[in-house]
Amino acid sequence: MRKRHKRFLLILTVLLPLLCILLFAKKLKHPKRFENYNVILVFIDTLRADRLGCYGYFRNTSPNIDKLARTSAVFEENFSTATYTLPSFMSIITALYPSSHGVLKIFKDRLSGRVTTLAQVLKAYGYVTVWFGPCDDPHLDTAVGFGRGFEEIYSSGDVCGLMDYRENILGWIEKNKKEGFFLNFHTYKLHTPYMPGPEYKAKFTKIKGLSGVTENFDEYSAGSIRKVAGDKKLAIHFMGKKLYRQFISEGLLKGSDREVRDFFTARGQENKMLNIQDYVYWADIDLKDKTTNAYIQILYDADILEYDQEVIGPLIAKLKELGIYDKTMIVICSDHGEEFYEHGDHGHGATFYDEVTRVPLIVHVPWIKKGRRIRELTQTVDIMPTILDLLDIPVPGQAQGKSLKEFICGRHPLPPHEYVFGMMSTLSYIRSKDLLFVADNDSGRNGLFDLVLDPGEKNNLNFEKCDVAAKLEFELEAFRKSLPSYRDREYFFDPGIDKETQEKIRKTGYW
C-alpha cells in the first residue's frame, strides 16, 4: 500500500506541472508553428512617443495607430540606444548596443559579417523577406548591413511620393499573401523638412503659412541649392571652391531640380547637398519665438497624422481585406524622437533628453486580443528577441536585448532592465525609473536629473548629488566595458568626404 502511495505521488509530481503548463499554454493560445504568422516591422523615423494618442497626446495625430494599440502591447517606457538613425536602427535589427555593433559613422562603418540580423534569422526559417526604404540614403544604406537577409529590396522614398510608396507596399503584400513573409519598411515622413499635405495641416491650424518656413518640397530640394549657390561666399563654405566652380560652369544656377540633384550624386557629394538643404530650411526659423515654435510642431504633428491616415490605416485595411490580419504580427517602433527647443536646440542626435530617447514600441500579436500597457523600462534592442521569441524561433546568442514575450502574454515577470543605456560617439547615458545620468566624454560636462521631481530634465544635479552621479557613472562604465565588440576591422571614410565633414561626423553622427 505504501509503495502504491509513493508511486501515485511520483506520478502526480511529474504530471501536475506538465498539466499546468499545457492548460496555461492553451489559455494563451500561443502559435504551434511559426510558419503560420507573418511579421511586419514598421520603422517610423523621428517619432516621439509622446506625440501619439495612445501615449497620451492631446491632438488626434494617430487614430489608426491608437486603434491598433487598443489590442496590442504598448510599452510606455521604451528608449532608444542612440538618437540618430544609423546606430539606432542597427541596434533594432541586431539586438546589439551601438558600441557592440560598431556602426556609428555614416559614409564609413559597416556591420561585421559575424553579426546576424533579424531578417537573416527569419529568412533561415523560411520567411520571404522584403525591405522598403530609401536605399540611396547613407543612414540606411543596404550595403552597410540594413539589406542583409532580405531577398527583395525596394528603394522607396516617401517624403513627396507617399501614395506610390503605400501602393508599392500594399501591392507587394497582395502578391505574397499566401507566403509567410517578413516585411520591414521605413519612413522619413516625420523628419525635417516638415511638409504635411494641406488637408492634414488644416486639422490642427487655420494658418496657411508662416514667414520663413518652407513648405514646398521643390523649393526645399533643388531650390535651396540654387539659393545658396547664388551667394559665392556661402556656396564655397558649403561646397568648397572646386565643387562650386563645377556647379557654376555647368550652368546649374538655372538647372532643373533633377540636374541639380544629379550633379551632387554623380560626384558622391550627397552629404553636401543635404547639408545645404538643412541649412536653408532652418535659416529663417526661430524656435525661440513661441508662435514659430508652435507652428513648426503643428507641421510635425500633421506629418504624423498624414502617415497614420495614408499608410497605417490602409495597411491594416489591406491585411483584413486579404484575410491575413489575424495571422500577422505588427510592430511599430522608432529610432529617436525630436527636440523642439525644450533644451535650447532642435532636431536630434546631440543629446539624450526624454524628447529624443523615449520612443514608441507597439506590438500587435494576432493570437492575443486584449491590449496591455507595460510600464517597465524597455529598449529598442529588445525588439528582435521579442519578435523571435513570440514565434518560438531561437534568439541568436549575440543578442543583448531581452525578450518581452512574457509581458505581452500577460505574465508579470521581473523587470527586464534595472537600467537602460544609450551611446554615441561622445555621449552616453544610463537611465533608471527615477534618474538619468548623461556622460559627455568630450567635454566632461555631465548631467544628472531627478526624473520624479524634474520630469522635464531642466535641473542638473551633477554637482549637488555627486555621490549619486558617481555611482551611475560607475554603472555606465561597467556596462560599456562588459559589451563585446563585433567590429571586425577598421573602416575608412568614403572618398570625397572632406576632413571637416569627417570630424563633424565623428562628433555628431551627422555631417
Q: Tens of pLDDT along 298-327?
A: 999 999 999 999 999 999 999 999 999 999
Domain with 266 in it: 214-283
- 87 lies in the same domain as 179: yes
- Highest mean pLDDT (candidates 18-32, 61-75, 277-291, 408-422): 61-75
* Structural domains in the chain (count): 2
The residue-averaged pLDDT of 14-24 equals 39
- 106 lies in the same domain as 222: no
The residue-averaged pLDDT of 335-361 equals 95
357 contact partners, CB below 8 Å, separation of at least 6 = 79, 80, 83, 336, 337, 422, 429, 431
* Nine cell digits for residue 121: 534569422
For residue 19, tell me if it sits in a domain. Answer: no
For residue 429, tell me if it sits in a domain. Answer: no
CA dihedral 184, 188, 190, 191 (to 10 degrees): 140
Q: What's the whole-model pTM score?
A: 0.90
For residue 421, tell me if it sits in a domain. Answer: no
**Secondary structure (3-state) at 272:** helix
- 50 lies in the same domain as 92: yes
- 391 lies in the same domain as 279: no
379 touches 82 (CB < 8 A): no
Of 2, 422, 355, 347, which is closest to residue 194 (Cα–Cα)? 347
For residue 436, tell me if it sits in a domain. Answer: no
- 49 lies in the same domain as 154: yes
The residue-averaged pLDDT of 90-100 equals 97
